[in-house]
Structure 1
Amino acid sequence: MDHDNPIRLRPVIEDDLAMFRRFLTEPFLIGRDWFGFRDAQGPARRFATDGYLGEDNGRLIVEVERDRAVAGFVSYMSGVYGGAARYWEIGIALLPDWRGLGIGWRAQAMLCDYLFSHTPAQRVQAGTQPENVAEQRSLTKAGFQLEGVVRACEFRAGQWRDGYLYSRLRDDPSPL
């Protein structure tokens, strides 16, 4: 672990909603995943519903322990293969100042460990764009393996684009 930037995952608090609104209303703050302007009041409604700790999806804040700075968030959403095999799909959004510091891969590995500890899921998966080499490295460091190309899975910047699918299974060793 990078001792200069030890991190932790924690539940969302009301003060975090301003960051979520920024990701929805500041073009390209989220990077390649900008899908246009979204409802800036949505985060407050979701927080009021379940504090972003839903049974089938949610978010946790990535906090840098040293100064309790919020670096971004991780997300998780459940899915089902074959009608019975539940899995989690995870994602991450870091604020620009915190990218490239080794925080992302650790946050994703921590989220996987958390999901494997608290749910019976056998699989956690994550997708990224072919041009996002930094996220591909991050997922690999977090213990994920590339499974393949998912063709035309994302509409972004006016066209359908391919994605890469990565997974980590319960029996795969944690890099932490």
Structure 2
Amino acid sequence: MTPADRTDTVHLRAFTEGDLPFLDRLCTDPDALGEFEWPGFGDPRARRKRWEADGYISADSTAVAIARADNTVVGIATWKPRGFPSGVTYEIGVGVVPEHRSQGVGTAAQRLLVDYLLDHTTANRIEALTNGGNLAEQKALERLGFRQEGVMRGRSFQHGNYVDVLVYGLLRAEYRPATA
């Protein structure tokens, strides 16, 4: 196992009230999610309202904290069901703040997320979308066994330009052949 694949460096957990400043940062700091994920300034109150409504955990979409062993939040991991019937396909995403990137945190969090979905849902397929220029994310997905399945040309608007988005997929039988 390479250092980038070590899941003992981070864990996933539900957001708590004490994490609200971290969630605020995602709306107010252009560098927090990185050049490929920054959607523009947002209202931090919207994130707080979502946390108050459901703690970021619902049947429609879920977001949890990526935390270090000392419980410091270093990122966000998300999943949402896609397609019909619900519960067969999930789209995942991971964002790590700059000071914790390039340390294997994102790959470890994605592995934990894939394991969680395969252990606790009926997921047969897990998808991830990534900006065509995000080579680090593409490598992380490929390390976990995801395959690039397609390109959605000009799907995203970023920094004044339309950019391609790559579709990656992973099937249960590819990740866990013995349990398929």
- TM-score by length of structure 2 reads 0.88
The superposition leaves residues 7-39 of structure 1 with CA deviations (integer Å, 9 ceiling, x where unpaired) of 111111111111111111112321121121111
Q: Is the 8 A contact 1:109 1:143 kept in 2?
A: no
Q: Which of 108, 121, 126 lines up with 2:123 in the alignment?
A: 121
Identity %: 34
Number of aligned residue pairs: give it: 171
Q: Quote the residue 1:104 is aligned against.
A: 106
TM superposition shift of 1:70: 1.4
Once residues 4 and 132 of structure 1 are traced to their aligned partners in structure 2, the CA distance between those partners, rounded to angstroms, is 22
Q: One-letter code of the match for 2:121?
A: T
Query: Does residue 19 of structure 1 match 2:22?
Result: yes
TM superposition shift of 1:172: 1.7
Q: CA RMSD in A?
A: 1.8
Q: Quote the residue 1:136 is aligned against.
A: 138
Once residues 30 and 37 of structure 1 are traced to their aligned partners in structure 2, the CA distance between those partners, rounded to angstroms, is 12
Query: Does residue 162 of structure 1 match 2:139?
Result: no
- What SS does the corresponding residue of 2:141 show, helix, strand or coil? helix
Query: Does residue 41 of structure 1 match 2:45?
Result: yes
- Residues 4/135 of structure 1: CA separation in 2 closer, same or farther (3 Å cut): closer
Q: Is the 8 A contact 1:129 1:164 kept in 2?
A: yes
- What SS does the corresponding residue of 2:44 show, helix, strand or coil? coil
- What SS does the corresponding residue of 1:125 show, helix, strand or coil? strand
- What SS does the corresponding residue of 1:31 show, helix, strand or coil? coil
Q: Is the 8 A contact 1:12 1:61 kept in 2?
A: yes
Matches within 5 A, 1:22-101: 22-32=25-35, 33-65=37-69, 67-80=70-83, 83-84=84-85, 86-101=88-103
Q: Is the 8 A contact 2:91 2:126 kept in 1?
A: yes
The superposition leaves residues 65-85 of structure 1 with CA deviations (integer Å, 9 ceiling, x where unpaired) of 1x22211110112110xx436
Specify every segment of 5 or more residues in structure 1 that has no aligned partner in the other structure, as ranges. Answer: none
Specify every segment of 5 or more residues in structure 2 that has no aligned partner in the other structure, as ranges. Answer: none
